[in-house]
Amino acid sequence: MTEKMDPRTEFLKNAMSRRGFLSAMGATGAAAALAACGTSSEDSASEASGPTEQTSGENVVWANWTAYLDRKKGTYPTLEAFQKESGYTVDYKEDIDDNATFNGKVEPQLQNNQYTGYDMVTLTDWLAAEWIRKGYVAQIDDSLVPNKKNILPALLDVSFDPGRQYSLTWQSGFAGLVWNKERVPDGLKTVDDLWQEALKGKVVVLSEMRDTMGIILLSQGVDISQGVDDAQFQKGLDELKKQIDSGQIKQVKGNSYLNDLKNEQAWAAIAWSGDIFQINAEEGDKWEFVLPESGGTLWSDNLLVPTTSENMVGAEAIMDYYFDPKVAAEVAAWVNFICPVQGAQEEMEKIDKDLANSPWIFPTDEILSDAFVFAPLTPEQDVKYSDEFGRVISG
């Protein structure tokens, strides 16, 4: 008889593949798709190429998502420490609101081998896989990133980048339901609860297709980790269109959905896990986050250096710095997403014992059993579904 793999190990090994939830502490079959989230074996790094020479300089421009790095009084403490220790300056830009719009902004330059304005970017698995496949990503010089050895073993051989030659996981997390506890005192348990009359015009959902559609499809009984067909996708899309056309859904947004929650333009949302813990810490314990009874989604984001980067060496220095367990724990303590660095939980014990035991940062089997990674789409499906989703959310 074959020995059964620990579900946590299985989760990570198969699931490490956006904002795509991972941690060495948690693993189930659903989470196992994380490493390969949104990718297929065809999305191989073998087609990618790097720049002809290493570039370096004093400044590094890093594109990331909103609320995705430790922040205090308008500064980023770990980034300030990096700059002081390394001598580099970092122009840190929260320029990624969602993958599709960011890709549309920079891909023309990448296609023409021109500088995009960024030396390092943070992309969700499916787009990271696409960039690697298209040759937009430079190969990491492991000698300059010795802390790469600290990546969780299960994350090292993801389907879109075996051995992590071109990418390193930044964070992972869930998409689920959030609500304003004052405005929605009874809370939310199911996706159908979003469609109640009391919330009409007060709902916002994510512009990340795999998260919003994934959660809707799960509510319709579709196991998104096993693949989605045209009929299933269309049924889920019909539901989304119905709720948008009726005015139930007020907005479809990327990371800027947080502003709608803060100013109470939205009372409920399909949202990302760590974001909610952050705004609760900043503005009071006003919001609650759960995975729907039918399940939430799992995702991962990755650090990559475009081939057109003007400071690859500086970008690699940042990668190495943030894969130090102590630094990784500092970031995880603030962002409350899942940390991909071995030893970070032990370091978290020194910062906050409650956070070190948080199932949202270091997930339990119970939570992971309710989370699913959207199975890889074929290139044809990706184009078709993305186009159809885009038409619906754009009105």
Q: Are 147 and 324 within 8 A, CB to CB?
A: yes
Express each pLDDT in 69-88 by its tens digit. Answer: 999 988 999 999 999 999 99
| For residue 131, pLDDT beyond 60 | yes
CATH number at residue 287: 3.40.190.10
Report the length, in residues, of the chain. Answer: 395
Q: Please check whether residues 60 and 155 belong to one and the same domain.
A: yes
Give me the numbers of helices (H) and strands (E) for the chain, helices first please. Answer: 15, 12
Q: Looking at the 3D structure of the chain, how many domains does it have?
A: 2
Q: Which residues contact 204 (CB under 8 A, 6 or more apart)?
A: 249, 250, 251, 252, 253, 257, 260, 261, 265, 266, 268, 269, 270
What single DSSP character describes residue 375?
P
| For residue 313, pLDDT beyond 50 | yes
Nearest to 64 by CA among 85, 36, 95: 95
Q: Please check whether residues 215 and 287 belong to one and the same domain.
A: yes
Mean pLDDT of 303-321: 98
Q: Please check whether residues 207 and 96 belong to one and the same domain.
A: no
What pLDDT was estimated at residue 298? Answer: 87
What pLDDT was estimated at residue 11? Answer: 38
Q: Please check whether residues 252 and 290 belong to one and the same domain.
A: yes
Q: What is the mean pLDDT of the chain?
A: 87
Is residue 24 in a domain? no
Residue type, 105: K
Express each pLDDT in 249-288 by its tens digit. Answer: 999 999 999 999 999 999 999 999 989 988 998 888 999 9
For 4, phi and psi rounded to 5 degrees? -75, 130
Q: Please check whether residues 167 and 313 belong to one and the same domain.
A: yes
Q: For residue 332, what are the domain limits? A: 45-172+299-372
Residue that wins the pLDDT comparison between 343 and 17: 343
| For residue 242, pLDDT beyond 90 | yes
What pLDDT was estimated at residue 14? Answer: 37
Output the six-digit token pair for 210: 């795999």
DSSP bridge pairs for 137 = 306
DSSP bridge pairs for 372 = 297
Residue type, 113: N
What pLDDT was estimated at residue 29? Answer: 34
| For residue 389, pLDDT beyond 60 | yes
Q: Please check whether residues 243 and 275 belong to one and the same domain.
A: yes
CA distance linking residue 198 with residue 289, whole number of Å: 19
Side-chain half-sphere exposure of 107, counting CA atoms within 13 A? 12
Nearest to 303 by CA among 170, 172, 141: 170
Q: Please check whether residues 218 and 72 belong to one and the same domain.
A: no
Is residue 19 in a domain? no
Is residue 203 in a domain? yes
In the chain, the percentage of residues whose pLDDT exceeds 90 is: 73
Q: Please check whether residues 285 and 365 belong to one and the same domain.
A: no
Is residue 343 in a domain? yes
Mean pLDDT of 212-232: 97
Is residue 363 in a domain? yes
What single DSSP character describes residue 203?
E
Is residue 111 in a domain? yes
CA distances to 84, 129, 141 from 134, rounded to whole Å, are 36, 9, 20
Q: Please check whether residues 205 and 289 belong to one and the same domain.
A: yes
pTM of the model: 0.79
